[in-house]
Structure 1
Amino acid sequence: MTDSKKSSAAEKSTAPKKVPKAAKASKILNVVNPFDQSIIGSVPTVTWNNIDKLLATSYQLHKDTEQWLPAFERISILKKTAVLMSQRADELALLIANEGGKPLADARVEVARAIDGVGLCVQEIAHLTGSQIPMDLTQAGAGRIAYSTKEPTGVVVAVSAFNHPLNLIVHQVAPAIATGCPVLVKPARDTPLSCKVFVDMLHEAGLPPPWCHFVVCDTATSEKMITDPRVAFFSFIGSANVGWMLRAKLAPGTRCALEHGGVAPVIIDESADIEEMIPSLLKGGFYHSGQVCVSVQRIFAPKSNVKAIAQLLADGAAKLIVGNAIDEFTECGPLIRPKEVDRVEAWVDEAVAAGAKLLTGGKRLSNTTYAPTVLLDPPVDAKVSTMEIFGPVVCVYGYSDINKAIAQANSLDYAFQASVFTKDLDVAMKTIRALDATAVMVNDHSAFRVDWMPFAGRKHSGYNTGGIAYTMQDMSQDKMAVIKL
């Protein structure tokens, strides 16, 4: 199928269905391919009056326990959704590439992960259990039986990011469905089509529409929705500035999970297998053009071989094919918006002017793409060294003392995932303990993840823990019954 036919097929498959009366649009949002800026589809946006009605419906659904969906129904809906996703996997992968700029090969992996994520939700429903609490440990409790059960926490509002437009939505919405929570989901305005298709699939699989609403709205309306007192749980994936600001404005009692970015460090020990690690670092640094919250950004290598390591990375980066993500051969797609290319260009230019050695890249290739870039020893106070670049840029620093390298890795306000490459067990264990991170990968890049592991940021990088099972626990609450015999 040609690219033009692919684009046409994607537009046709994502044409919005008739919008329910409660969510009639005030405007239409056009969605573009971030590489060539061509319009590939559109979705309706809604006003506060629409969302107010949806919140009221969702709130009443939760309040009326007679309307709660039993576990077997939730299991059936999610299983059917996974089947529908599998049947339309190629379409979903093309859609991810077309609206999000993720290379098609990686988009296919995202679809597979998303399908598995729905399956994980099904498995975890059986683990939403309470326990018996012994009462006769003291005389005061004797003559009683007590046990706890799990209940849905209430209305969930999920606000998502653009970089994994299907899998992130699955991680936020499917756990809500699995736990029995009504959910309103607001995808990134750049990438709403994958979310719309997923929500439609849930409905097609038998989920009554009031249990899951797809909403696209402006910033002010979104904030009003998030901070509404009817919201029991707020799930956010996006920038730290926005996430912390919204958390501060949540209504009393609203629980939340925030997933922000990082400036992921990698420690390379003298014993590391350099030939083996270079492909891993290239994948971790340039996957989705670096637009990943745990993307490899800062690499610390011994001064004795830092130049050789940096040059090998540069040689590999220079060979990466940059282009339209829907092209089968593309390895690095566009940045999500042209202004992000401007920002990355400015940060790299600043670092080079301040003394960083440019080994490859360092230039825009078009309005929407930036060349995969490797910098050697940029200043420690440069933006590329202290802030999440979210672009195809990897920085390499030489060190003479591994303790000082770890201290520099830990010096920022952001802490998410990290990694160490070594063949020395003592070094591995020491680095695991010393790095300020929620997960440390050994002999693998910092962006590794499977969907059943805990996934969370420390400090400015986030709040609470992601991952299917952890999110389902967050969206559930305990209730205890104490029965006097």
Structure 2
Amino acid sequence: MTMITVKQAYTGAVLAELKMHDSAQVEQMLSNAQKRHQAGRLSETQRIEILQKLADLVESEHEDFSRLIANEGGKPIRDARVEVTRAISGIRIAIRELDNITGEEIPMDYTPAGAGHKAHTILEPIGVVVAVSAFNHPLNLAIHQVIPAIATGCPVIIKPASLTPLCTLRLAELIQQAGLPVGWVQVALLSNENAEKLVTDSRVAFFSFIGSAKVGWHLKSKLAYGTRCALEHGGVAPLIFDEYADEEGFVNGVVKASMYHSGQVCVSVQRVYVPEKRAQDLAEKIATIAAKQVVGDAINENTDLGPLISPQATDRIEAWVNEAIASGAQLMTGGKRINAVSYAPTVLLNPAKDAKVSTQEVFAPVVCIYGYKTLEEAVEWANSLDVSFQSSVFSDNAETAMTIAKKLQASAVMINDYTTFRVDWMPFAGRKHSGYGIGGIGYSMRDMLEHKMIVTKR
């Protein structure tokens, strides 16, 4: 039987050896989930009670989850604690959203054809949900994919990232402790081949994916007829700086928003456009702060930047930065590998517009600064890629900021805040190649429900 070895992200020490599920077990999971759906969902009261208990259980293991996130995923322990707090909040958001999701009465007497009829809609669970998750937020992403299914009464099978499955496995255990019957939530540890078998099965009603665009679009193209889906991929997030009084706050914020979790976030600030006459100065100031970041084992309290998720990721970013420098980028700080899984926080000034660091998602502690001549030029560059997620603009001129916000091609534009801003009840989605559908707890819950209209002739 094939095994998954889960390692401590920085040291490589073995955290767990897990048996991978085979194709027969995939079939059994799908059968179990389908039977659960056909048997009918638990009452709303039961689901709310389960979610309330689950929130309390996760809260009781707050520090344990935080350490698990730091160890298996490499997120610094201080940030891992924030992730657990968000996860607990996400469970409670789902409970609150149940009050906002209702059917409606449909007027029937607009024309003589509808006269004498009364109609209303009810919402029913869509069916079996399959979720494929990513490594970078191993608890909170599972919350965003699993909890909406529990709240709406859909059985769910989740495949966590093979490098970071432990948070999801523990969450599933706590869900059962909270009272959800066995079979409603199943965790699948799968090879790519068996993951595709799971995702593309005709019994899957809804597919939730968080990960690379290449994999997400491939799986979408193979879904069974009728399967609905939501895909969340990454971006190459742009930030346009105009004039902003709190320059020190801005500089510190750029470092945090680009280097948080070593840049392994789908909305990390990657491209910063500043007036040409200010580019060198601001790049130097950003580099000064970036160079002070402590890189090390995520479990250490003083670590600012943990490891990248794998040596292969470090190899990739080393090659990309070297390419950018060779093609003319000015290295302001960093630009070097620290060890097998760590890369120094790096600031590049004016890399080529066609360099990989300018056109593809870095997913590493690298931020690029570009000088622009006009705001129109900055907007054109910001919109020039086939990926589009969140973006931001910094300006003390409210009219200028709003004008730029309207021109940016993004699903969300932050004014005087960073592309990383998110609360878990807001819509969260990519445009262009960056995704399909809308995430966010309540929005995912709506995706997992189907409208049924009931018409009565009086």
Q: Does 1:40 align with 2:15?
A: yes
Deviation at 1:272, TM superposition (A): 4.8
Q: Does 1:64 align with 2:69?
A: no
Deviation at 1:271, TM superposition (A): 4.1
Q: Does 1:50 align with 2:50?
A: no
Provide Cα deviations, 1:72-108, integer angstroms capped at 9, x if missing partner.
1110111000000000000000000000000000000
Structure 1 counterpart of 2:176: 203
The verdict on how the C-alpha distance between 1:458 and 1:272 changes in structure 2, with shifts beyond 3 A counting, is farther
Q: How do 1:160-199 residues align onto structure 2 when only pairs under 5 Å count?
A: 160-199=133-172
Structure 2 counterpart of 1:28: 3
Letter in 2 for 1:57: N
Q: Distance in 1 between matches of 2:112 and 2:122?
A: 25
Q: Distance in 2 between matches of 1:64 and 1:74?
A: 15
SS of aligned partner of 2:197? helix
Provide Cα deviations, 1:90-131, integer angstroms capped at 9, x if missing partner.
000000000000000000000000000000111111222100
Deviation at 1:426, TM superposition (A): 1.4
**Pick from 326, 331, 347: which aligns with 1:358?**
331
Q: Does 1:316 align with 2:289?
A: yes
SS of aligned partner of 1:50? helix
Letter in 1 for 2:81: R
Kept in 2: contact 1:273–1:423 (CA 8 A): no
Structure 2 counterpart of 1:230: 203
Q: Distance in 1 between matches of 2:83 and 2:333?
A: 29
Letter in 1 for 2:347: V
Kept in 2: contact 1:273–1:422 (CA 8 A): no
Provide Cα deviations, 1:242-275, integer angstroms capped at 9, x if missing partner.
0000000000000000000000000000345321
Structure 2 counterpart of 1:14: none
Q: How do 1:142-291 residues align onto structure 2 when only pairs under 5 Å count?
A: 142-291=115-264
Structure 2 counterpart of 1:12: none
Provide Cα deviations, 1:343-393, integer angstroms capped at 9, x if missing partner.
000000000000100010000000110000000000000000000010000
SS of aligned partner of 1:210? coil
SS of aligned partner of 2:370? strand
Q: Distance in 2 between matches of 1:213 and 1:357?
A: 49
Q: Does 1:434 align with 2:407?
A: yes
Q: Distance in 2 between matches of 1:201 and 1:176?
A: 16
Q: Distance in 1 between matches of 2:144 and 2:63?
A: 20
Letter in 1 for 2:2: K
Provide Cα deviations, 1:26-71, integer angstroms capped at 9, x if missing partner.
3331100121111112332101101101101111221233xx2110
Structure 2 counterpart of 1:420: 393
SS of aligned partner of 1:34? coil
Letter in 1 for 2:420: A
Q: Distance in 2 between matches of 1:445 and 1:308?
A: 20
- Show structure 1 runs of 5+ residues with no match: 1-25
Moved over 4 A (4+): none
Paired residues, number: 458
The verdict on how the C-alpha distance between 1:384 and 1:272 changes in structure 2, with shifts beyond 3 A counting, is farther
Kept in 2: contact 1:438–1:455 (CA 8 A): yes
**Pick from 105, 112, 116: which aligns with 1:139?**
112
Structure 2 counterpart of 1:402: 375
Q: Distance in 2 between matches of 1:455 and 1:271?
A: 27
**Pick from 438, 447, 453: which aligns with 2:420?**
447
Q: Distance in 1 between matches of 2:19 and 2:89?
A: 29
SS of aligned partner of 1:314? helix
Q: Distance in 1 between matches of 2:48 and 2:228?
A: 25
SS of aligned partner of 2:439? coil
Deviation at 1:280, TM superposition (A): 1.1
Q: Distance in 1 between matches of 2:220 and 2:209?
A: 9
**Pick from 420, 430, 434: which aligns with 1:461?**
434
Q: Distance in 2 between matches of 1:217 and 1:275?
A: 47
Deviates more, 1:410-419 or 1:127-136: 127-136
Q: Distance in 1 between matches of 2:448 and 2:177?
A: 24
Q: Does 1:92 align with 2:41?
A: no
SS of aligned partner of 1:301? strand
Provide Cα deviations, 1:200-249, integer angstroms capped at 9, x if missing partner.
11000000111010110100000010000000000000000000000000
The verdict on how the C-alpha distance between 1:427 and 1:272 changes in structure 2, with shifts beyond 3 A counting, is farther
Letter in 2 for 1:432: A
Deviation at 1:292, TM superposition (A): 0.2
Structure 2 counterpart of 1:10: none
Deviation at 1:442, TM superposition (A): 1.1
SS of aligned partner of 2:224? coil
Letter in 1 for 2:84: V
Kept in 2: contact 1:272–1:421 (CA 8 A): no
Deviation at 1:167, TM superposition (A): 0.2
Provide Cα deviations, 1:295-329, integer angstroms capped at 9, x if missing partner.
00000000111111100110001000000000111
Q: Distance in 1 between matches of 2:209 and 2:203?
A: 17
Q: Distance in 1 between matches of 2:420 and 2:23?
A: 37
Kept in 2: contact 1:417–1:457 (CA 8 A): yes
Letter in 1 for 2:445: M
